[in-house]
A = this chain, B = another copy of it.
Amino acid sequence: MSDEQTARAALSRLMEPQDSAGLALIRVAGAVDALRIAVGELKAGPTLEQNISAALQDAGGTGAWAGLTESKKRWGPRITDLAPERDLATIARLGGRVVIPGDELWPRQLTDLDLHEPIILWWRGPEEALPEPTKAVALVGSRDSTSYGGTVTGDLAYSLAQRGFSIVSGGAYGIDAHAHRSALAGGVGQLSTIAVMAGGVDRFYPSGNEDLLRAVSRKGAILAEVPPGSAPTRYRFLQRNRLIAALAGATVVVEARWRSGALNTAHHAENLGRAVGAVPGSIHSANSAGCHRLLREGAAVCVTDAGEIVELVSPSGAGLADSPDGPDSPHDGLTLEDLILLDALPLRSVTSVEKLCVVAGLSPNSVRAGLGRLGLLGLAFAERGGWKRGRISE
């Protein structure tokens, strides 16, 4: 157990996720000294304060920082709760581990979060690297999903897992549960699904998903940036969503109400430059209103099957999506003149070139040339000294 690991384990209890000043402190002072400064063992000089302020501005921070003294007031009340060795023992007892930036298992895609990269990951599941973002899709949505949303999520997760994609979600009821369950069912390799929790990974939350999450912890990964014992507060749910978005190459919202945490995940994905998809549904379903909102605002691409999601996550796979009606129709690519001529050809009787000229409004030469082209396509044929339409055009 390195000092760095222990310090980060402690810092993850002291600081809420995405505590910008705390993360800037870690960046400029390193985790070990950052912890000593946070708990008052080490005094910070004015240069350090300036460096934190600069790091906050580099990361696009807006507004003035109130200074380290103010930030320490935020961390202070939690100092007495610090017991990183106990937390590390807990995760070890659960068969898990912690992973910190720089570790071989650290998911490199999290560096896209810049300053808001997590301090540490508390991790349950096989000791195996997470998939690259091009092989991971987040499926998210309402907890109170409809049967439509459940069926769609199940189909998409199963089909994507069968193609070797890992399904990232939040372990909640509804869409999340359908996504994890079907990914486990369809998975062909390890880590077919990843659950990112808002609270500590020692608890399988919500309790109704305990069996499912236990299965995910055996065959997938259960991750959190907060230490064991942490409660899944609303704030942590919102912060957790940025990790779901960052771990996946594309975030797809299957069902979401007009205001929904899933939309928050989608916006995180958008801000990270990740692809965002939304599944359409009935306009009478309140559970699709959030998806339609994303589509309407241009914040998501409309996706209707696994192939279209694969295109989102790995654009080089373009063309994998099938057109639902199969091959092109024999009419595709006909010139306007030939289309007019085709319309003019009778189905049952036969007609003459002269009559076709009148009906189609084409010159005799055009009619003869067009009949030749349509004949080659099987769309017209000669019979009893006249012409009729080919059966293939029906």
Contact = CB atoms under 8 A, between A and B. Distances in A.
Given A283-B280, A324-B286, A325-B257, A361 B292 contact: no
B305 A283 contact: yes
Residue with the greatest number of chain B CB neighbours at <10 A, chosen from A19, A289, A336, A344: A336
Nearest to A79: B358
A152 B285 CA distance: 12
13 contacts: A73-B364, A74-B362, A75-B361, A77-B364, A234-B343, A235-B339, A235-B343, A258-B325, A280-B283, A280-B291, A280-B292, A296-B301, A302-B302
Contact of A235 (B73, B279, B280, B336): B336
A77 B354 contact: yes
Query: Chain A interface residue count: which class?
Result: 35 or more
B234 A342 contact: yes
Contacts of A75: 361
Interface of A: 14-16, 19, 70, 73-78, 81, 148, 152, 233-235, 238, 257-259, 279-283, 286, 288-289, 291-292, 295-296, 301-305, 308, 323-325, 329, 336, 339-340, 342-344, 354, 357-358, 361-366
Nearest to A152: B283
A361 B279 contact: no
A81 B355 CA distance: 12
A322 to B, nearest CB: 10
A288 B304 CA distance: 10
A75 B358 CA distance: 8
A295 B324 contact: no
Nearest to A148: B282
Given A280-B295, A301-B296, A339-B234, A73 B308 contact: no
Contacts of A77: 354, 357-358, 361-364
Contacts of A324: 258, 286, 289
A100 B308 CA distance: 48
